[in-house]
Structure 1
Amino acid sequence: MTEKLLRPMRTRPWYARWLIRLLGAALAAGAHLLFLPSDPRNRSATPRATEETTPLTGAGVLLLALALLLLAAYFGHWDRLGWPLLLVAVPPAVLMHASLRAHPGPDASFRPLAWGLFTLLVATGVFVTAGVARAFRGEWAREDMSLTNPL
């Protein structure tokens, strides 16, 4: 089973590529929902307060970052470079946008800026991680070729 997961995407049939890509996008969205839960009852403590209670924790943010970086490394290593951005960075960005839009309040003016900043941060991390994983792909491919072809 693991030898099937650890093959380049271009060597797989089209249905397997798309199934793995959909699974990756679902894992990215699931990690966001698991580690950064959204509470629809999230309201301010007093009527004039600008701060809301939040279920976010530092450990949840770190675990989400780790999960997204692992997914980005996997797809960056085995697939083309553009796919990690679509599969790993877009689902959390969409969920974050939906979460920020669900809680309108008096401080809503900073939310588009915060969403853009965090989306840019996630996309940059995914892109850099995928690029580093892609660099190791070439190194491993040369090692495999040197083992099979001694000339």
Structure 2
Amino acid sequence: MTEKLLRPMRTRRLPVRWLIRLLGAALAAVAYLLCLPWDLRNRPTTPGATEETTPVTAVGVALLGLALLLLAAYFGHWDRLGWAVLLVAAPPAALMQVSFRTHPQLDASAWPLAWGFFTLLIATGVLTAASVARALRGEWAREDLTLSNPL
């Protein structure tokens, strides 16, 4: 089973490729939903306050970042970089947009700016992790060649 998961995507049949990609996108969406739960009942912390309660915690953000980086490394290592960004960064960005749109009122129109910033941050992190994993793929392949052929 592990051997099948650790093969380059180009060596797999087309339906298997798409199934793995769909599973990766679903895992990215589930990670977002589990780590940053929605609370549609946002309310002011005190009467008249401008800050609202939020279920987002630093631990949740850190766990989401770790999950997305691991997914990005997997897809960057075994698939193309464009697929890694599309499959890992797009589902959280889309869910964040939906989350911002379901907010009862836009506070000084900061939501589009926040969405753009966090989407760029996620996409940059995913692209960086995928690029590092792709570069290590070449290093590991060279090490395997030198170990198998000492001369």
Query: Normalising by the residue count of structure 2, what TM-score does the alignment of the two structures yield?
Result: 0.92
1:76 corresponds to:
76
| AA matched with 1:60 | G
User: Which has the higher mean CA deviation after the structures are superposed, 24-33 or 138-147?
Assistant: 138-147
User: Which has the higher mean CA deviation after the structures are superposed, 42-51 or 96-105?
Assistant: 42-51
1:52 corresponds to:
52
1:115 corresponds to:
115
Cα drift, residue 10 of structure 1: 0.6
| AA matched with 2:40 | P
| AA matched with 1:93 | A
2:65 corresponds to:
65
Q: Map Cα deviations across residues 62-102 of structure 1 (whole Å, 9 max, x no partner).
A: 00000000000000000011011100000000000110111
User: Which has the higher mean CA deviation after the structures are superposed, 17-26 or 35-44?
Assistant: 35-44
Gaps of 5+ in 2: none
Contact conserved, 1:50 with 1:106, CA < 8 A, in 2? Answer: no
- Give the aligned CA root-mean-square deviation in angstroms: 1.8
Confirm or deny that 1:5 pairs with 2:12.
no
Q: How does 1:9-28 map to 2 (within 5 A)?
A: 9-28=9-28
The 3 A distance-change label for structure 1 pair 10 and 145 is: farther
CA distance in 1, matches of 2:106, 2:34: 28
Q: Map Cα deviations across residues 5-29 of structure 1 (whole Å, 9 max, x no partner).
A: 0111011111111000000000000
Aligned length: 151
Cα drift, residue 52 of structure 1: 1.4
Gaps of 5+ in 1: none
CA distance in 2, matches of 1:39, 1:113: 21
CA distance in 2, matches of 1:15, 1:146: 35
Query: Normalising by the residue count of structure 1, what TM-score does the alignment of the two structures yield?
Result: 0.92
